[in-house]
Chains A and B, each alone.
Chain A
């Protein structure tokens, strides 16, 4: 592999990892703080993508679609939390899996009823509908660059919120000791609802950003869900920073695995996960989970 090709693949891996991070960040927050194993997270990604498709078709503008879609996703998160998830905080993971898997089926059916089973393309906003040369032959669509930049910005924003705001402080406190937080007079229920809603919106946003790149199609949530779980487990459950490194690792492993070990491509990500877990059974930055 020449140096320039290596650099290109590095860019590909990082770019893939960034998008994975955006999906996984919501999953790890909900998993880490609420202790809920949310299988429906992939469905929120899919729902976001379909909203982007549907709303941009209606409004003729993807920016507007995202602007409308985000609060819709947050609302969906609130509703799902209130109607379903909130009843499961005290139950074990198996019950949660059962319920959230049921939600997956529900959302898939909803998608089929509302939008049908066809594959749909989503137009890139006109301002970003150009490509940038990358190496001698290849180009990069401006939307890809924008998506990566947005993912970095969001990662930074999440970090600031978790570390620097009162809400973030409560989230961190809730993650390490729920009962103590409650005893201090903080309404944990509301905190959890807000957090679940935020996680849902993040997944939805990832779907909306990815839609012009991936096209929207039935079952698009499931493949993302599995990789997100891999990212969360590698990074350490509940750790945003861990999810970031986990996503980078998965993105790079997948990219270089495809090129260097093509026969092994579909397994490489899982091999990396196994290796990380052998080395650090709680994931890269899984200390927070330990104290739970």
Chain B
């Protein structure tokens, strides 16, 4: 068992893609990661909400989540790029900007909370790569991804702002690739791989057509690379690639590249039930699941 970590679920995984939550719990259990729930968490809050109105309100809602983890003495592990960067940036601001910190503490008083700064915020890729370690992941793999060609989609808020997040090399990231190698898979470079999926900042909510135009550029780049599947490390990027390809198909295109959250892929290689950990998608992915786990016969 490792040091105490608290799982930060966010919104999209538990409420729209619970199979990603189920996969995450399965993976953390398999590697004996010592990740438990912190009760009562809310939205991080997304950059499509309060930060567009008032920085103090947005930071206070982040600080509330972090303060709840602090009372249990846990570092937070996030499974979404948005949750990760928003909580990590809020922590950074709270730890570096005394004026903001004092304003936020004043607001937190209304909820009888106080931010101390004693808990860290981690992206689950960092957690798996550094705290769990590649060798322990390798030891849990039952079905190798041998022969599989995969396109990694890092997503903006896994990488940027790199001076605050420090997750990975922002122009040549390697950690997700390391994990996929540990599963026996091969990652393929593609044009546009460090760029945006188009969903963030409220764009998908406000102007879905425009968000889709940005997505199509990414999907074209991936299609040219001739891969078996796309791997994201964020439920919102997952949503954009999975449902976005469906929307593009409805508009007459033939894009149909299976999409997985990294934890879904790891759980499948560990032998988890696909009906629990990879149940929900608009873009079919049974062929990939079968080639990982066999047809069960």
Q: Do A and B come from one complex?
A: no
Hey, which bits of chain B sit against chain A, CB under 8 A?
Answer: none
